[in-house]
Amino acid sequence: MIALKDILVVAPMLVLLVASLIPVMIKVFNSNREPAPFVTIAYSILGLVAAGFLTASMSGVKQTAFSDALVLDGMGVWGTYLVLGSAAFAIMMAYDHVDTYKRLFSEKCFLMMGSVIGTLTLLLSNDLIVTFLGIETMSLCIYILIAMSREEVLSKEASFKYFVLGSFASAIFLYGIAMIYGTVGSTQIPAITAKVGELLTNKNHLFYFGIGMLILGFAFKVSIFPFHFWTPDVYQGSPTPITAFMATAVKTATFIAMLRVFQSTGYQAEPKLMSALSWLAVMTMTVGNTAAILQKNFKRVLAYSSVAHSGYIMIGLIAAAFGDNYDSAAIIVLFYLFSYSIMTLGSFALIGILEKKVGVGLNVDDLKGLAKKHPVLAAALTVILFSLAGVPPTLGFFGKFSLFGVAIEQDLYWLAFWGVLNSVVSVYYYLRPVVVIYMTESDETSDELVATGGLAKATLVFTAALTVIIGLASSPLLEMVRAAVLNRH
């Protein structure tokens, strides 16, 4: 039966739904006149903050809701915080970005919030059917958001490409669920993880196909090689705030859903699965990093960097699924997602600030002269790029350090080696913008570098500050995450 506690678990989603509907309803009752963008954004941010407080009020105890369809545990709570924060920054960036502002802004905010509801569903899901619904809600809103950009050629192409490939991946994911249901007899994730070992030991081929298709569906969403080809085109074609949201919230939620599926020692029964996943991780890192070196467009550089980061996170995932200490690896994955999201939001915020003509991308070389014209923004970007490259004492360094540390702890020396090697390669393209900013003489005082957008600037400076502050004091955050996740039992 449905009790009050079930409703409480989904209360953040309900609050988000109501908050997102208010601006759209104002528009409807005001003879279809767009409400002031400030009003729209205020309702959205209020909704996100309220959802955050509601989640905080329920944290500490593991709860399930709706006949075990949803589970709210430490991982879900911290994933929710991360997604809500990413969404808040992305909406702030959309407020005055050239591709998204003013026209149809209330609908854009509504769809962003809809996508957040999808990510929360995905984060809390304890049943593969709910996982599927979460992925679809999250993605369908984003397909539409990309197509709603003011830019008319690249964004339409990106939206359509993402839609077709995403639907294909979803169909495969659903087929995988059907096969797993056929072998396990249930779609509930705990029931599946309990039987994984037995099914893998017995070489149940239907289950092999099922789990393979499930991983494939997830891999598409987080752009793991060889399903990463859409990433640079879609990231480039999307309005930058939407790209920031995709690169952070969507990735976070999908990786946490993957962690839930991998929460079983039964996977150790099939070492081939582990070596397949390890190869995927290595290829993802290598392809992402080498391709990023060749890019001129800053957004494409960051897109390939995000592919590479998916590879790093895969290392943590493998350590969680095939190591003997799931919890410690899962905590590190969550921590790494935190550091990755903060850095990614900051770097996309800078792109959003400097983009001011529809359809004109930002190349790395365009950054020259930034240090003179906007020293604060230049410094903030430098901090974030150093952090992405993993230079101590920034947040990115501690993220990578603990990730490779946990891999070594689980005897995954080989993976840790590839991770370190790739981090070294990545330094080249992360530091190239820094070289352009500080060491290239700008010959003419270019009018190109006009920075717009107060909220986006605030996002950039705030995230840069966070990378240093959390970097210097990473252990309190790590301890909080650890306490929350270990509380699961």
Partner 1 sequence: MSLSLNDILFYFLAGVAVLSALGVILQSNPIYCALSLALTMVSVAGLFASLSAWFVAGVQLIVYAGAVLVLFVMVLMLFDTKAEKRAFSKGIVSGFFKIASAAMIFAIAGGAASMSGDARFSKLTGIASATQSTKDLADLLFKKYLFSFEAMGALLLFIAIGAVALSRIQGGTHAD
Residues at the interface with partner 1 (CB under 8 A): 1-2, 10, 17, 24, 65-67, 69-70, 103-104, 107-108, 110-111, 114, 117-118, 121, 127, 129-130, 133-134, 136-137, 140-141, 144, 147-148, 150, 152-153, 156
Q: How far is the CB of 155 from partner 1 (least distance, A)?
A: 9
| Burial category of 18 from C-beta neighbours within 10 Å (exposed 0-12, middle 13-18, buried 19 and up) | middle
d(CA 377, CA 354): 10
Query: Mapping DSSP to helix (H, G, I), strand (E, B) and coil, where does residue 151 land?
Result: coil
For residue 241, how many other CB atoms are within 10 A of its CB? 31
CB of 98 to partner 1, least distance (A): 12
Give the nearer residue to partner 1 in terms of CB position, either 69 or 82: 69
Quote the tokens at residue 331: 């905590």
CB of 64 to partner 1, least distance (A): 11
How near is the Cβ of 48 to partner 1 at its closest, in Å? 17
Considering the complex, what minimum distance in angstroms separates the CB of residue 6 from partner 1? Answer: 8
Min dist CB 3 to partner 1, Å, is 12
The two tokens of residue 29 are 């009752």
For residue 269, give the DSSP letter.
G
Q: In whole angstroms, what is the distance from residue 157 CA to residue 233 CA?
A: 9
Matching residue, tokens 């070489």: 203
Which residue, 157 or 448, is less far from partner 1 as judged by CB? Answer: 157
Interaxial angle between packed helices 128-147 and 154-184, expressed in degrees from 0 to 180 and rounded to the nearest 10: 170
What's 363-402 look like in SS3?
A: EHHHHCCHHHHCHHHHHHHHHHHHHHHCCCCCHHHHHHHH
Of 129 and 461, the one with the shorter C-beta distance to partner 1 is 129
Q: Which is nearer to partner 1, 109 or 437 (CB)?
A: 109
Q: Which is nearer to partner 1, 32 or 489 (CB)?
A: 32
Q: Which is nearer to partner 1, 160 or 462 (CB)?
A: 160
- Measured from the Cβ of residue 160, the count of other Cβ atoms closer than 10 Å reads 15
Q: How far is the CB of 324 from partner 1 (least distance, A)?
A: 34
| Smaller CB separation from partner 1, 24 or 427 | 24
CA distances for 36 relative to 112, 278, 378, angstroms: 17, 50, 32
Distance of closest approach, residue 107 Cβ to partner 1, in angstroms? 4
In whole angstroms, the minimum distance from the beta carbon of 193 to partner 1 comes to: 20
Q: Which is nearer to partner 1, 24 or 58 (CB)?
A: 24
Provide the minimum distance between the beta carbon of 473 and partner 1 in the complex, in angstroms, as a whole number. 38
At closest approach, how far in Å is the CB of 118 from partner 1? 8
Tell me the CB-side half-sphere exposure of residue 431, using CA atoms within 13 A. Answer: 11
Q: How far is the CB of 44 from partner 1 (least distance, A)?
A: 15
410 contacts: CB under 8 Å, gap ≥ 6: 319, 322, 323, 324, 325, 329
DSSP for 303-339, written as a single string? HHHHHHHHHHHHHHHHHHHHSS-HHHHHHHHHHHHHH
DSSP state of 79: H
- Judged by CB, which is closer to partner 1: 148, or 319? 148
CB of 84 to partner 1, least distance (A): 17
CA distance 377 to 374: 6
Helices (H) and strands (E) in the chain, counts: 20, 2
Which residues are CB-contacts of 358 (< 8 A; sequence separation ≥ 6)? 98, 99, 150, 151
Q: How far apart are the first and last CA of the chain?
A: 24
Q: Say how far apart CA 64 and CA 61 lie, in whole Å.
A: 10
Q: Which is nearer to partner 1, 17 or 39 (CB)?
A: 17
**Closer to partner 1 at the Cβ: 55 or 137?**
137
Please spell the DSSP secondary structure of 201-268, one letter per residue: HTT-HHHHHHHHHHHHHHHHHTT-TTS-THHHHHHHHS-HHHHHHIIIIIHHHHHHHHHHHT--GGGG
Q: Closer CB to partner 1, residue 106 or residue 295?
A: 106
Radius of gyration of the chain (CA): 22
Using the minimum distance from each CB to partner 1, give the nearer residue, 141 or 485.
141
